[in-house]
Every structure is written in C-alpha cells, then in structure tokens.
Structure 1
Amino acid sequence: MLYGIDISNHQGGAFDLRRTRAEGFDFAFLKATDGAGWVDPQFGRNLGEARGAGLLVAAYHYQRGNASAAAQVDTITRTVPRDVPVIPDVEKDGGNLALTRDIVGRLRGAGYTVPLVYVPRWYWRDTLGSPPLDGLPPLWSSRYPDMNGGYASQIYARVPANYWDGYGGAGVEVLQFTSSATVAGHTPVDANAYRGTRDQLAALLSSRSNPQKEVDMPAIPVSLPHSADWNYVALPFESNANSTVVGDAWFTIFAAWGEVEYEVVTIGGGLKLVGLIGTAPTAGRLADRQRNFWQVPSGLEGIALRYRARNAKGETTNGRIGYSFPQKGK
C-alpha cells in the first residue's frame, strides 16, 4: 500500500514536501490549473519541491463546464511541463463527460500522459446520472469513512474494502479516502492510497492509461512501381461487440520514421472517424514521428489502412507506419 497527498493553493505556501516524503508518502498530485486561464500560484514551487523530495508527481486540472476544451488545454500547456502527467478533475461545475473526453484527447495530442481521471462517485451518480465511463482513463476516486482526523495510515484503517469498487465500467486505481489527514504538520490534507508497488504506480503515471498495443507494420520498400505502390492492411480491430476496443476511445497512426502517405477507411454502419482537433483528415501524409488521432465511435466494425512511402514531392522514400488502439484491461 502506498500513500499520497493532493494539495493546492488552499494549503498555503511552503508545504514541506521533504517532510511529507520522510513521513512515508510516495506520491503527490498537485493542482496546476482551473478552467480557462487560472493557474495555481503554488504549482511551480510544489512541483519542484515534490520532485526534489523524491515523490512521484502528477498535475491535476479542475475542469469547468463553462469553458471549452481548447481553452482549458491551452491553459494547461502553458503551465505544466510535458513530462508531468495531467489528471482532469471532474466535479462541481465540471460539465459533462463529452468535455472530459475532449480534454483528454487534446492533452494526449499535445504530448501529455493522462493516466487517471478524477470523477467522484457522487458526481458521477447524482449529477451525471451514472453514465458509462468507457474511453476514459482509470479512476482516481474519493470516498471517506468519516470526517475524523488523524494520520493517513490511521484513517485508512477505517476504510471498507468496497470503497475500491469501480463504477461506470471503470476501475478505481487511486482512492482519496480522507480530506482530514495530518501531513507534515498541516491539517487538514487530502490523503490517497494506491494498492500496489512504487514501480507499479510509476508505470501507471507514465502510461497512456487504457493499455495500448503499439505495433509497427512491415517496413515499406525504398522504391515501388508507381502503379502498385499502395499497401493495404486490415487492422486487428476488435469491436465493442466483443468488448475489446473501448467505444469513443482514440485510435492513432504514426510515422515511426521516414515519410508516409495514408488513407484510413472505416467499416460498418457508415460511421466516420472524428478528428482529435477540428477535422483530422482520414487521408494525408505523416513525417518522422508525427501522429494523427481519431475518436473511435461505438458500433464501428473495423478499420482498414492503406499506406505508401511518399514524401511531399510525391517521390518514393523510406518509411514505416504504426498504429495503436486503446484496449480494455483483461
């Protein structure tokens, strides 16, 4: 069992994160931004102190339903370094899950990992109406046995096992089990638990969440006849009917190296892929390490891809293309 804290400007300045680490905590989730434009004045200091103390870190963003995903992600990208995981915090005045999915997709498109999403059970049930959480990262949830204070380990001893039960089809990876802990001389402080090892938590925070498989397709030859230079492949897509690919999740293709042309075709139901930002073309060109993302709508039966190694001048060249699907855990 690992313990962690989540803090913000509400704890004031000079939160002693080295003492926090010495008291046995392993991670800290730090408030970075709120809606469109607001930045937590303690975030920069807290991030530096937490890393210096050896704590595993993530930033969290308070989602606001009255601001667009684009505006909120713009605030995040101006504040949070790309090597810091970002967790959307969806609660009071947070709007709906369509906004959350948009924010998650845009963050991933901007190069961030989004390992968790904070959607408290009460908000999911009472405000959102208990919708499915397919396509979102695993849960950082919250539920308290009481409002009594104490040290984190003392309070956690009062937590029933069923507080870890998931909801909306999503599992709980991190549990905020109190807002009343005493940590490093501060009271009250939010305390969290993770049921795993430090290495496992580090892997979770550095992952893209919903485990993905990244597969390189066969290398494209250096030169191909112009009359037969397209390669076709039916991707190993498994539809929602067999509960493997997450509906409304993100499908990615990328140029592993070189330059490639591509065309993506969907199969079944006449459904079209929706681009990550604006209208992402289902046909185009990618250069070294570039990616394109699309949302996979529920009901899609398959995806096919054709590709060839061509540069912007239409000349044949070297290239390799790859893809990834979010997969449900087994």
Structure 2
Amino acid sequence: MNGPPTMKNVLRALCGTSIVTLGMAAAMPMAQAHAKPALPTPTAAARAAGITTAGGAYPGWESKRASSTQQAPQQMAPMYTSGNAYGVDVSAYQGSVAWGTLRAEGFQFAYVKATEGTNYTSSRFGSQYSGSYSSGMIRGAYHFALPNQSSGSYQADYFIAHGGGWSRDGRTLPGALDIEYNPYGSSCYGYGWSGMTSWIKSFVNRYHYRTGRYPVVYTTYDWWRTCTGNTSALAGLTPFWIAQYSHVPTQLPAGTRSSYIWQYSQSGGLDKNRFNGTIAGLRSLALR
C-alpha cells in the first residue's frame, strides 16, 4: 500500500515536476532581477581616450579627450592657496603604483577605482587601496556609474559590497560616485533631466543609508548641465569633485559655491587633484 496521497505527490501529478524544481522556478525572477548585463563596447571617443575594454572608464575621460591644454595648478589661483592638499586618482590601468614616491612628492590623498556599473570590480583595487593607506595617504574608493544598467540604489549596494564603504578611522574618505559622459553610448544613458536626477539621488541616499555618509560626487559642469539640467537637488548635501583642466572651476552645479576637490590635470599617467582646503580640512572630511 502506498498510503493516502500527500500534497507533494499531488503537486507532482498535477505539474509533472518536483517541489524542489517548483521552488527554484519561483525564485528565478528575483535572482534575475539584477542579472549582469552584457559587457558594453567603448565608443570611438572612449577608445581615443584610452578606454579599450568594458571596465576601463576613469574620471574625466571625456575632458582628457577634449582638452588641448593642461596648465600646472600653480598657474591657476582664485579659490586655492599654497596650503591645499593634493591627491591622485587611479584605476586598474595604472597597475602597480609607487605610492611611497607619490607621498614623498607631496601627494596626501588618493581615490581608487573599486567598481563600474553592476558587473566590474577592479583587479587592482585591493593592492592600490591598501598601498595608498600604507604610504600615509588618506584614501577613498570610487564607483564609475552606468545608470542604464540598474537602479542607483543597486549600484550603491554593489559599490559598498566591493570596497566602497566608509569607516570612521580618519584615513578613509567617503566613497565617490563618478557620474559623467557615457563611454559606451548615449551621453545621458537614455535618461531625461528628472530621471537622471532621480537616479543620482537614489545612489546618494542609499549610500548614506548604508554608511551614514553622503558620497562625494565627481562630474563635469558640462555633463551636469546637459544631463540633469543643472539641478540643485544635491547642493549642500554632497561634496562635489569637479574636473576642469584649462582653469579653476568657476562653473559649478547649481547651488554649489565651490568644489571640494578639483581634478586639474591628467599627466604622467596619473590624474591629479587638489582639495579646496588644508590637510586638516581633508581629515575633517574623512571623519565627518
């Protein structure tokens, strides 16, 4: 005797499958909600700027391509003084970095690429992040945003899960969101002004919820005006890191009085940055 039918046997008879299979099928939509998109192909403009494969994007790639002159920071004055802190930003492209040499040259902070979109993590992040710290620098991680791949909140979670968090140790800067021209397609990733603003706020708010800090936002004024309509939605909320190679950045996101960090040059294989304050102010940003 097989005994009375069980619910498991009834379901098998009706559906021709097992309970385990049914459970897996039911779980698939959730698992696929953030399935990794196909790796994008760099545009001709991006390739001209050195981005030859997906994951190769870096801060200011479009500015580098478009800029025909680069001036030394000491030739640019208004909002900066000789007491400012200097730094660099790096990605896997730089490979092994001579952190001790950079520190000896006077660079005091670094931003290191951790992630891009939803399916790239830098193979060099761990060594670069720890190397900059060991040299005595204050360091932080950055995420290159690809808003057409997922929601802002999902990319914030992805960033945090792969090195983009923050700790109150006085040596860790808040993570940075690199949001700029798309090296793989349409400039604004298919968004209008309000949609792009909402995406950025989604990332920023999720990062704040998870870490207690608002991220630094890296961008160019030209992209911010083109793709957000020069929104003031983040003014006074997030520190801005602005790229401008020909002069001190005077055009800034609406409501922003000055940039916290200025990317002024890409030379010698490195992006160079200047903090709008002294090393004490930089430590304050790390602790805030």
State the TM-score, normalized to the length of structure 1: 0.53
Instruction: Report how far residue 165 of structure 1 moved.
Output: 5.1
Q: Find the aligned partners of 1:189 and 1:164 in 2 and give their Cα distance.
A: 23
* Moved beyond 4 Å, runs of 4+: none
CA contact (8 A) 1:59 1:86 kept: yes
| Equivalent residue, structure 2, for 1:190 | 271
2:224 to 87, 111, 124: 124
| Equivalent residue, structure 1, for 2:262 | 175
1:177-326 pair list within 5 angstroms? 177-180=264-267, 187-207=268-288
CA contact (8 A) 2:108 2:137 kept: yes
| Amino acid in the other structure paired with 1:27 | F
| Equivalent residue, structure 2, for 1:17 | 99
* Alpha-carbon spacing, 1:30–1:112, altered in 2? closer, same or farther (3 Å): farther
Of 189-198 and 121-130, the range deviating more from structure 2: 121-130
1:6 to 89, 92, 95: 89
* Alpha-carbon spacing, 1:21–1:57, altered in 2? closer, same or farther (3 Å): same
1:53 aligns with 2:135: yes
Deviations 1:75-105 (A, max 9, x none): 1122114424211111123651211111111
| Amino acid in the other structure paired with 1:86 | G
1:72 to 147, 155, 170: 155
Runs of at least 5 residues in structure 2 that lack an aligned partner in the other structure: 1-83, 183-187, 190-195
Q: How many residues align?
A: 185
Instruction: Report how far residue 39 of structure 1 moved.
Output: 0.7
| Amino acid in the other structure paired with 1:9 | A
Task: Tell me the secondary structure at the aligned position of residue 15 of structure 1.
Answer: coil
| Equivalent residue, structure 1, for 2:238 | 137
Q: Find the aligned partners of 2:245 and 2:87 in 1 and give their Cα distance.
A: 15
| Amino acid in the other structure paired with 1:118 | Y
Deviations 1:160-198 (A, max 9, x none): 4xx255331123111001112xxxxxx221100113211
Instruction: Report how far residue 114 of structure 1 moved.
Output: 3.0
State the TM-score, normalized to the length of structure 2: 0.60
Superposed CA RMSD in Å reads 1.9
Runs of at least 5 residues in structure 1 that lack an aligned partner in the other structure: 146-158, 181-186, 208-330
CA contact (8 A) 2:261 2:273 kept: yes
Of 72-81 and 117-126, the range deviating more from structure 2: 72-81
Q: Find the aligned partners of 1:5 and 1:133 in 2 and give their Cα distance.
A: 28
Of 107-116 and 97-106, the range deviating more from structure 2: 107-116
Determine which structure has greater relative contact order: mean sequence separation of CA pairs < 8 Å that are 6+ residues apart, divided by chain length: 2
| Equivalent residue, structure 2, for 1:30 | 112
Task: Tell me the secondary structure at the aligned position of residue 20 of structure 1.
Answer: helix
Give the strand-richer structure, 1 or 2: 1
| Amino acid in the other structure paired with 1:73 | A
CA contact (8 A) 2:113 2:142 kept: yes
* Alpha-carbon spacing, 1:99–1:131, altered in 2? closer, same or farther (3 Å): same
Q: Find the aligned partners of 2:215 and 2:231 in 1 and give their Cα distance.
A: 20
| Amino acid in the other structure paired with 1:32 | A
Task: Tell me the secondary structure at the aligned position of residue 131 of structure 1.
Answer: coil
| Equivalent residue, structure 1, for 2:39 | none
Instruction: Report how far residue 120 of structure 1 moved.
Output: 1.0
| Amino acid in the other structure paired with 2:230 | S
| Equivalent residue, structure 2, for 1:249 | none
* Alpha-carbon spacing, 1:71–1:37, altered in 2? closer, same or farther (3 Å): farther
| Amino acid in the other structure paired with 2:105 | E
CA contact (8 A) 2:103 2:136 kept: yes
